[in-house]
Amino acid sequence: MDPTKSSLLLTPFVTKTEGIGGEIKQEAEDFVVGEIIEDDYILNPRMNDFELPGRKGMFLHFVLVKQDIDTSNALDWIAKLWNVPRNYISIAGSKDKKALTGQRVSIWGINKKFEEGKIEEINLPKIKTKSLCLKLSEIRLGNLKGNFFDIIIRDIPFSPEEAKKRIESCIQEIEKKGGILNSFGSQRFGNIRPITHLVGKEIIKGNLREALRIYVGQVFEEELDETKTARELYWETEDPKKTLNLLPKHLKIERKILHSLDKRKNDYRQALGSLPLQFQKLFIHAYQSFLFNRYLTIRFANYNKSLEEAIEGEKQEGKVVYAPLIGGKTQLNKQTKEIYEQIFEEQGINLNNFQQPLTIKMGGKGTLRSIGFLPQKTSLLEVSHDKNNKMKTKARISFQIQKGSYATVLLREFMKNE
């Protein structure tokens, strides 16, 4: 059983409508994302000016519009250009790299520089800061209502008429079922190297050496040859110095781990701790996400296919059903316990693994997560011939989804490429 295969990482399709195939993100502008904030105001990255809510205060607020760059790198550039400590910058959540995105950002400690006119808007090809203003509150993780998407699916191997029929049928089916499974998308585990959850698993088991060996050394075919050579060397020898000599400079996280291991031989706890805490948390969160996706898969196959009816041990509020996202504070009972115990047996772990101090520190407390989500304001905007791909079709779809849910999970239902 290969734990990096999408069939194990992702959940089954809820809809039976035949898929349209195709491909997303052929161009960054094909994947437009904007945060939905107070009063359902959308930070559409195609806009030039924004009316940001809130009373005046000492935090600098602005809208970050970025394209073809990940959120962390964009914020690093802003910190450098404005000469502000990186940890003074906060956001509600990260956005896709290969996309055109709009999101709210706050910065502490530069209100005087802003009022003195020493902070100017950034206007670079990949990074723009818009509508700078001072507000009372800091933007914290989760400070948004949801996200708006405007997406083009290209390279569809059907006529515009057939593609339109299938998409409309799928939209109707989703609405009739009350939504789709609220699973975590493939990007949660890594697109090129889907191993983030495997690292997390070894961390919660206390196998830090193996966790770092997987992160640094596991090879995937899609990588560059020089990267594969360096990873293979570490996988076989676990020699940090020799691996550093071969590893490309842009792999900063791997190099940080190796430098730590070279300096303090076999101190795997120190090497892991050398990474930013938010990055460490990604590993634990990815494994929690993997377990939740497995939970949804088993529940859907063997217990109840309804997204609006709780099984024993789940929590129901109106039509919304919540299931445990496993962690150190989680209490399981009845049918939810049955499902998770089956998963624990598959994985060779138990709930005690999540109750270790390191796991708790890295964000493994656990919570509840809705088992389904219903996209809002779904609209098929255009279906036409795709000029970028000869004899193929493109479809443009817009929709809104709740925070924490994945657009790619909804797009899978339309495309059904697996």
Q: What is the CATH number of the domain that holds 153?
A: 3.30.2350.20
Looking at per-residue pLDDT, the higher value among 181 and 361 belongs to 181
Give pLDDT, residue 266.
Answer: 84
pLDDT tens-place string over residues 175-229: 999 999 999 998 889 888 999 999 999 999 999 999 999 999 999 988 999 999 9
Q: What is the pLDDT of residues 38-64, one digit of tens each?
A: 999 999 999 999 999 999 999 999 999
* pLDDT attached to residue 7: 55
How far is the C-alpha of 90 from the C-alpha of 81, rounded, in Å? 16
Cβ atoms 413, 174 nearer than 8 A: yes
152 shares its domain with 24: yes
The answer to whether 131 and 114 are in contact (CB under 8 A) is: no
How far is 148 from 256, CA to CA, in rounded Å? Answer: 36
Whether residue 177 is contained in a domain is answered as yes
Give catalytic status of residue 96 as yes or no: yes
Share of the chain above pLDDT 90, in %: 87
Per-residue pLDDT at 31 exceeds 60: yes
Q: Is the pLDDT of residue 295 over 50?
A: yes
Domain housing 120 = 38-144
Pair (14, 162) in one structural domain: yes
The mean pLDDT of 294-314, rounded to a whole number, is 95
- pLDDT of amino acid 314: 97
Residue 72 pLDDT > 80: yes
Q: Which of residues 243, 275, 307 is at a domain's end?
A: 275
Exactly one of 30, 96, 150, 386 is catalytic; name it: 96
Residue 367 has pLDDT above 70, yes or no: yes
**Overall domain count for the chain:** 4
Round the average pLDDT of the chain to a whole number and report it. Answer: 94
Q: What is the pLDDT of residue 123?
A: 97
Question: How many other CB atoms are found less than 10 A from the CB of residue 70?
Answer: 16
pLDDT of 1 strictly over 50: no
User: Is residue 189 situated within a structural domain?
Assistant: no
| pLDDT-based confidence at residue 406 (cuts at 50, 70, 90) | very high
How does pLDDT run across 140-153, given as a tens digit for each residue? 988 999 999 999 99
> Which residue has 């910190």 as its token pair?
79
Helix (H, G, I), strand (E, B) or coil at 108: coil
Q: Tell me, what's the pLDDT at 3?
A: 55
* 154 shares a domain with 22: yes
Give the pLDDT score at 392.
Answer: 97
Q: CA 326, CA 355: separation in Å to the nearest integer?
A: 11
CA pair distance 393, 276, nearest whole angstrom: 43
Give the mean pLDDT of 72-92. 93
Segment 160-164 mean pLDDT: 98
**Cα(283)–Cα(51) distance, rounded to whole angstroms?**
36
412: enclosing H helix or E strand: helix 407-415
Q: What's the confidence (pLDDT) of residue 356? A: 87
Regarding whether 153 and 15 lie in a shared domain, the answer is yes
Mean pLDDT computed over 342-366:
90
